[in-house]
Chains A and B, each alone.
Chain A
Amino acid sequence: DGGITQSPKYLFRKEGQNVTLSCEQNLNHDAMYWYRQDPGQGLRLIYYSQIVNDFQKGDIAEGYSVSREKKESFPLTVTSAQKNPTAFYLCASGQAGQGGNYGYTFGSGTRLTVV
C-alpha cells in the first residue's frame, strides 16, 4: 500500500545536539512538507519542497534544515540553533502547484523531546 512513513516515532535530543527526522513516501507525490505542532495549537509550516533538489522556507524555518535529493525522501534536521524544539513533527506529501481538491497525506509523526 502507498503511504508516507516517518521515523522514529519518538526522539530525545540533548541540548546542543542536531537530530534528523526521516520522512519517506511511495505515493509518487511531487510535493513534501514539514509541519510542527505544539500542544493545543495548529500546524505551522517549517519547510516545503515542490520538486527534487529544491525547497523553500515556511513560516518557522529558523533552526531547521532540509534536503530533497530524492523524490521519495525529505529529511528534516533540527539543529542546535532551534531553541525550543520539543514538539510533534508531521511530514506530509501532496500534488504540487495546481489547485484542485487534492488533500495532503500525513505521516504518523515524530514526537521530539529535549532532555
Chain B
Amino acid sequence: RKEVEQDPGPFNVPEGATVAFNCTYSNSASQSFFWYRQDCRKEPKLLMSVYSSGNEDGRFTAQLNRASQYISLLIRDSKLSDSATYLCVVRGYGQNFVFGPGTRLSVLP
C-alpha cells in the first residue's frame, strides 16, 4: 500500500460546481498535513495546511480525520482558474514530506 493515496481523477466539473477530493495515508504517526496545487508544467504551491479541527480559506475547506487517516479538500463555486492538479502531502514528526500522486481537476466553462 502506498503511503499517501488520492482519487486518481480527472475530475471534470462545470464552473460553479462544488467538488471534493479525498486522500488517505498509511502512517498513523503522521502529524502535519497539507494540500498543494500544481499547474501544468509548474512547481507545486502550498494551497493550505490542514488542521485537526478543519479549516477554511475562502472557497476551500480542508478536513482531517485522524481515526480514519483521511484528509479531504472541498472546493465551492469552482472557477476556471481552479483547474490544476491537487497534491495531498503528509509529514511525520521529524520526517520528510510524502506526496500523493495528485488528483487532476478541470473546471469547464
Contact = CB atoms under 8 A, between A and B. Distances in A.
Nearest to B50: A101
Is chain B's binding surface mostly helix, strand, loop or mixed? strand
A97 B49 contact: no
Interface stretch (A13-21, A40-48, A65-73): A40-48
B34 interface: yes
Contacts, number: 51
Given A90-B43, A106-B44, A101 B96 contact: no
Which of the four size classes fits the interface of chain A? 20 to 34
Nearest to A56: B96
A90 to B, nearest CB: 6
A97 B94 contact: yes
A2 interface: no
Contacts of A99: 31-32, 91-94
B42 interface: yes
Contacts of A106: 43-45
Interface residues of B, number: 24
Contact of B43 (A42, A101, A108): A108
A74 interface: no
B96 A33 contact: yes
Given A100-B32, A106-B44, A42 B94 contact: no
Nearest to B102: A42
B49 A103 contact: yes
B51 interface: yes
A101 B99 contact: no
5 tightest A-B CB contacts, nearest first: A106-B43, A42-B101, A101-B49, A103-B46, A99-B31
